[in-house]
Amino acid sequence: MTNNSIDNQDPIDRYFSEVLDVHTWSDHPEIKDLTNLIYDELGCAELQSRSNNQGNISVKNMLRVLLLDLYVRWLTDPNLATGFHKHPRNYKPNSRYNALYINRKIIGVESLLEEHGYLGVLNHYNERSGTGPSFSTRIRPSQKLVEHFNKLTVELHDIDKHHNQECIILRQKYFDDEDRRNTTVDIEYHDTDFTNTIRNQLQTYNTLLTTSFIDIPSFSKASFSRPIKKGKRAGQRTTISIGPDNKFVRRIFSGGLESDWKLNGGFYGGWWQQIDKEYRSQIYINDEPTYEYDLKALHPTLLSNRAGKELPADPYTLQDHLLTQTSPQQQRQYVKLLVLMAINASSPSEAYAAFRNNDKKDKLAASLTNNTLSSLLQSFFDEQPHMEKFLCKGLGLELMGVDGQIANMVIDYFTKQNEPVLCIHDSFIINYKRGEELRRIVADSTYQLTGYRIQQDIKNERLETTRPVKGNIEGYKEPVDVTFYTPNRIERTDQYVARRDKFYKWKELKSE
C-alpha cells in the first residue's frame, strides 16, 4: 500500500526517520522462518539472477536485512520510519561501507513488500531547484507486518546491527551536481598500517562494549525521549535507544585523502553521546556508578599552548559587562559559545552566523548583530591577545584530530584492561573506582601529544563525607579531618533489574 499512515499509528514523519542500516543481521531461527515465509509469498525468487555471477548476497538475505531493519526500529519506536533510497547509486556492493554487499536488487525487494501490503510508505520528495530539502522514501511496517513481528521473541541482543560494519570512516565534502547542493560523502580508501592498527583497536573496543552492560538504573524503558532543538522538527521529540542496538562506535576522519588522516578522527556513536548531559551522571557500567572526567576548555587551551601561554582558569568571564541585556553568567556563556564557533569558522562572519544558528529558541542570541558579536570577540582578544591569530582560521578539524588521538590512547589503554570507558568528545565516563587511573592516563596522553597537561574536572555531583583519620604516619598521629567523596547511588527500577539480568543471561549463553 502507498500511504503515509498505518492503522492507528501517527502519520509517517519525514523527519522522524533513520536511514536503512545495511549491516543489520541475525541468524535467529525465528528471523530465518519469517524471511522464508515472506520470500515465498512475495515471489522474490524471480529477482534472483540465474547467471553464475550472483554477487555475494542472495535476494533472500537482502529481504532478511530489510525485515530486520524494520523490526529493530519498530522495537525502538513504532512511529520511527526507515529512510529508503530507490536509486541504484546508493547501493555499491563493492564498497567498504557495505559489508554485506547489498546491491540494487534490494529496491525490487522493497517494491514487492509495498505491493503485498507489508509497508506503509511516504514517497520521496526531490527539490530540483536546490533551494529546498530533498527526501528519500520513508517506509514503516504495516499492520500486516506488525502481526508477524508480534509473534517474534527475538531480542535486540539477538540482532547484530553492525555486522562486519566498517568503523574507520573517511569523509569528504563536494558539490553534488544532480542534487545541486553541497554534501558530505564517505569515500573509499586503501588501507595502510595506520588504518589497520586503529581499526583493530576500535574493533576490540566495540567487542568490549557489546559484552558490557551500560544502562541508566532510573529508566523504566531502554529508551530516552528528548526534545529536538534544531532543524525542521525543532520542538518535537525523538526517541533514542539505550539498548544493545545503540552502542557501536566509529572513528570519523574528515578532509578526504588529502588530509592524510590528520583532521577529526573523533569517536562517534553510542547512546551516551546522544542523551542530555544531566542524565550522563546516572550511567552505570556493569551495574556500577560512574564518574565523568572533563578536559576543561580543551580546544582554546590547545591553541593557547601553541603560543606558549596558559589560559586562565576561566577565560570566558570578561572584565567588562558588554551585553547589558544579559546577566554576567549569561554573557560568559555567550563568550564561550562565540569562541568555540570562532575556532571552527574560517571567517568572523561565519562564526557569527554559527553563533546565531546554534539555538533558535534563544531569541536574544539569534538577535545579536555582527557588530555586537565582533565587539564581544574583540573584548576576549583584549584580555587574551595571543588567541587572535588562531581564531576564525578554520582550525577546528585539526584540533579535533588531537582530540581523537588523545581519546584513542585512553580507550586503547582501558580496553586492554578489559575496562570500558565511554568517550564524549572532550570527556570520558568510567567506573568510579577507576576514576583516578583515568585522570592519570588522560593527563599522560595529553602531555605526550601536546607537551602540556590540561585541567580535568569531575562533572558528577558526589556525596561528601568528612571524618577523622589517624595512624602511625607523620601528620596523622593525631586525628585529622579528611574529606571523602563517593558517588550518588541511583535506585534501580524493576525494569532496569530485568534488563540487567536478561543481559547477563544472554552473555552467559553466548560464552557457552
pLDDT per residue as tens digits for the range 419-473: 999 999 889 999 999 999 999 999 999 999 988 888 899 999 888 888 888 887 7
Nearest to 65 by CA among 41, 42, 34: 34
Check whether 179 has a pLDDT greater than 60.
no
User: Rounded to an integer, what distance in angstroms lies between the CA atom of residue 198 and that of residue 196?
Assistant: 6
Cell of 309: 601561554
| Sign of torsion over alpha carbons 185, 190, 192, 196 | positive
User: Which residues are CB-neighbours of 305 under 8 A, at least 6 positions away?
Assistant: 450, 451, 452
Any idea what DSSP says for residue 25? B
Cell of 321: 559587562
The 10s digit of each residue's pLDDT in 293-317 is 999 889 999 999 999 998 888 899 9
Type of residue found at 174: Y
pLDDT of 396: 94
Contact 21, 102 (CB under 8 A): no
Nearest to 377 by CA among 309, 385, 311, 326: 385
Model confidence at 52, in pLDDT bands (50, 70, 90)?
A: very low
Model confidence at 54, in pLDDT bands (50, 70, 90)?
A: very low
Model confidence at 16, in pLDDT bands (50, 70, 90)?
A: confident
| Alpha-carbon 162 to chain mean position | 14
User: Rounded to an integer, what distance in angstroms lies between the CA atom of residue 396 and that of residue 384?
Assistant: 19
Nearest to 109 by CA among 171, 162, 43: 43
The 10s digit of each residue's pLDDT in 73-126 is 999 889 999 999 999 989 999 999 999 999 999 999 999 999 999 999 999 887
Contact 225, 238 (CB under 8 A): yes
Helix or strand (DSSP H, E) at 292: strand 288-295
| Sign of torsion over alpha carbons 112, 117, 119, 125 | positive
pLDDT of 481: 85
Check whether 40 has a pLDDT greater than 70.
yes
Contact 187, 170 (CB under 8 A): yes
pLDDT (average), residues 365-389: 95
Check whether 51 has a pLDDT greater than 60.
no
Model confidence at 4, in pLDDT bands (50, 70, 90)?
A: very low
Nearest to 413 by CA among 433, 441, 440, 448: 441
